[in-house]
Structure 1
Amino acid sequence: MPVPAWPPDWPRAHGDPPVAGEYRLVPEDFVVEEWLGFAPEGEGEHLWLWLEKRDLGTPELARRVARACEVTPRDVGYAGMKDRFAVTRQWLSVHLPGREAPTDLAERLAAAQVTLLEQARHPRKLKRGVHRGNRFRLRLGGSAVVHPAFASRWERIREAGVPNYFGPQRFGPEGRNLQRACGILARGWRKRDDRQGMLLSAARSYLFNELLAERVRRGDWDRALPGEVLMLDGTQSLFVAEAPDAELAGRVAAGDVHPAGLLWGAGESTAREAAAALEQGLGAAHAGLCAALAESGVRTARRALRVRPVAAELRHEGETATLGFTLPRGAFATAVLRELLCHPTL
């Protein structure tokens, strides 16, 4: 199975940014706060902890919490993976049936470079993907933020959204996660070789980005094609647009629904006509990878091709700019940033 060339040429929807910029020079430049959309109930076997971490990945955070609470890592749950080189706040759950947390838990966590902000009981473990989204506060610098076009580009992004690409962190430095995924899939994927499913995810994300990139080149990434699978905004509800009309086009333009691209795996695509032809063309171009994903047993799914930053704000402070916005779970802030500035990691 050939390994895709890296780095890929995934186009921007709003044209190439005019000049380079800087971001994430220090962790405090990239602040992420998880948005659950609900609150712990106040009682139950699981202790939920609202934590702040700096320059620390979520899996390592979970291990440190497990040690502090004297439980095994499998007793710790979290909703989503947060960036390592950042300041992030998120909930973790710890299974503590019939017993209290250590009385010095805050001190233990502080010694592990983790800040305990809040705690509450809940009947269930925190599961992956149950959060609604994430709130970002990003500090940017460089020539891009003082360029006359910066503010107008930001307004276009607020109004039109951006292609919902998976971010570069999904693929690892120099695409090494994708390289490893191709090797494992060529031999036949086994759970013991990829316990967290990270490599499967890298392969599926790459194919999705390839499909989305083709739609961006065609200029129809934010429009419904005949036979398009559409996703209701803010949900995972899907329906097929057999023959898009003016009313449906208006709903897409308003952001009420979004075209939804395929995440490859086992199972038939529900797309029809023009939308199906695009998927079939990409499937043929990456036949070995698509077949291996189907054989792995992972099921096909859908992801919106477009994402819009919600509650978006921009504040200039001299030669720096601070962005604030909320994205739904699974969306990457880097997909927004790459439409605003040029940077080697974007």
Structure 2
Amino acid sequence: MVRPTHFELERLMGIDAYLTDEDGVGGDLRVEPGDFRVKEVSDFKYGTSGDFLIVRLTKENWETHHLIRDLSRQLGISEERIGIAGTKDKRAVTTQLMSIRGASEEQLSRIDLPRVRLEPLGRANKDIGLGDLRGNDFDITVRNISLPLAECEARLRAIDANMAKAGGIPNFFGYQRFGIVRPITHLVGKKLLTGDVEGAAMDYIARSFPGESEENKKVRNMVMGTRDFKEGIRLYPLNLRYERTMMHHLIERPGDYAGAFRSLSPKLLKLFIHAYQSYLFNKLLSRRLLDGLPLNEPLEGDVVCFTDAQGQPDTSKLETVTKRNLPDIKFLIKRDRAYVTLPLIGSDSGLDAGRAGEEERRVLDEEGIKAGDFTVAAMPDLASAGLRRQILLNARPSINTGDGNATFKFFLPRGCYATTVLREYMKASPEQMD
């Protein structure tokens, strides 16, 4: 039985339900960065020659975009010359491959960044990108579980059993996609879509949220009310780097709000639109859950994807479910060779048929958005055609408990979130999982 969430912060991200109705074990995530360990699983091939230096990066408590920026500065190169297969959690110990075009091992040895290890592995003739990532191995410890051990284990077993019946876990976009302390990214994306670039910029720079420190709320509210960017630069803490960058631009070029956004890195800028697409996906998946529709059984009108050579969902291989092919698709889904998908709505997205299509129309109407808005008329370089994403996460955690802790080990395909798995077991507030 599905359980609606009672956390307003989750609903703000489009996450409206749990798959399982059993009580969770609670606890705290990321008490220490070492409690959350992520190791990238990559298919990237490298050798001894090529223009790209291939490096194994291990970082602790670093936001990925900040690290790339600081690394590029120490190397004296542009950020575009640094390639990764995906961003990793900040408050964590993470290991992944990185490519650096035109860099030498000697240059790398001079890098001095705290809590960062850079190990040269070889060279290649191309950079590392998203297609080189298969997924991630997670080793995560949840601490401060207040339940007696027997009750903790009983709850975990019951949740496991119900997820096995459902065939897996709902593949929500996790909290990191939006921000927990300040979930603003998708809200900025929506304003960019509707052409309100000024409103989007002001929201990002100055809209405050209850979870922020009193100092941050005070200075954001001041800038929102006065648009005094010079005073904002003076008062904003140095860690609010992106907001400060945008305000610097607006001091030099008053009123150029699109230019203020373009003062950010292109990768970060595109995250705003992608975050709003993620929010819409979460809403659609939540509706499917709350309507009592299955995640591991196809309905007429659904679109399914098939698996690749590694057995992972491949959303480049799609087929619409019809009365004629329904038995065959059911057979493949039961054998983990196909998955039901929902759209990451974009400019080229056609709405699905059947029940799924009805919900897509309803959500877009509620949001006041059309698929064509994803051409982003105000900033066309941010346009997004749309994609598909599987709705079921076939994770099978290995769990060990004791001393008020629980350790979870599991693999997830690229683009999937460990917090999405853990929220079903913990049923704790998002703030406890940050």
1:193 aligns with 261
**8 A contact 1:266–1:298 mirrored in 2:** yes
Residue pairs, 1:134-213, within 5 angstroms:
134-141=136-143, 142-143=145-146, 146=149, 147=152, 148-157=154-163, 160-172=167-179, 173-187=181-195, 193=261, 195-196=266-267, 197-213=270-286
Which stretch shifts more, 318-327 or 65-74? 65-74
Please, which moves more after superposition, 73-82 or 10-19? Answer: 10-19
Is it true that 1:308 corresponds to 2:394 in the alignment?
yes
Letter in 2 for 1:251: L
1:81 and 1:265 map into 2 onto residues whose CA distance is 22
1:240 aligns with 2:341: no
Deviation at 1:303, TM superposition (A): 0.6
TM-score by length of 2: 0.71
- Residue 53 of structure 2 corresponds to 47
Give runs of aligned pairs for residues 199-278 of structure 1, distance below 5 A.
199-219=272-292, 220-233=294-307, 234=312, 235-236=314-315, 237-243=317-323, 245-269=326-350, 271-278=352-359
TM-superposition CA deviations, 1:1-52 (whole Å, max 9, x none): xxx9736551011225344222111101110111112332332100011010
The CA deviation at 1:269 is 1.8
What is the identity percentage for the equivalent residue pairs of Structure 1 and Structure 2? Answer: 24
TM-score, normalization: structure 1?
0.88
| Higher-Rg member (1/2) | 2
1:38 aligns with 2:44: yes
Q: Is contact 1:109–1:115 with CA below 8 Å preserved after alignment?
A: no
- More displaced stretch, 235-244 vs 81-90: 235-244
Structure 1 stretch displaced more, 233-242 or 16-25: 16-25
Matched, 1:91 2:97: yes
Determine the C-alpha separation between the residues in 1 that align with 2:20 and 2:332. Answer: 21
2:13/2:282 contact within 8 Å kept: no
> What is the RMSD of the two structures over their aligned residues, measured on CA atoms?
2.6
**How far is the alpha carbon of 1:125 from its aligned partner?**
1.1
1:254 deviates by 3.1
Shift of 1:291: 4.7
- Runs of 4+ residues over 4 Å off in structure 1: 188-192
The residue aligned with 1:329 is: 414
> Which range moves more in the overlay, 18-27 or 151-160?
151-160
**Offset at 1:209?**
0.3
Residue type of the alignment partner of 1:131:
L
**Unmatched 5+ residue regions in structure 1?**
none
Instruction: Decide whether the 8 Å contact of 2:46 with 2:54 is kept in 1.
Output: yes
**C-alpha distance in structure 1 between counterparts of 2:147 and 2:16, whole Å:** 20
Q: Which amino acid is 1:279 matched to? A: E
Measure, in 2, the Cα distance between the counterparts of 1:116 and 1:238.
Answer: 39
Residue 118 and residue 143 in structure 1: after superposition, are their counterparts in 2 closer, same or farther (change >3 A)?
A: farther
Question: Against the structure 1 CA distance between its residues 22 and 184, is the aligned structure 2 distance closer, same or farther, given a 3 Å change threshold?
Answer: same
Distance change >3 Å, CA 211–CA 191, structure 1 → 2: farther
Choose which of 77, 83, 87 in structure 2 pairs with 1:81. 87
Does structure 1 residue 344 correspond to structure 2 residue 351?
A: no
Change (3 A) 1:157 1:53: farther
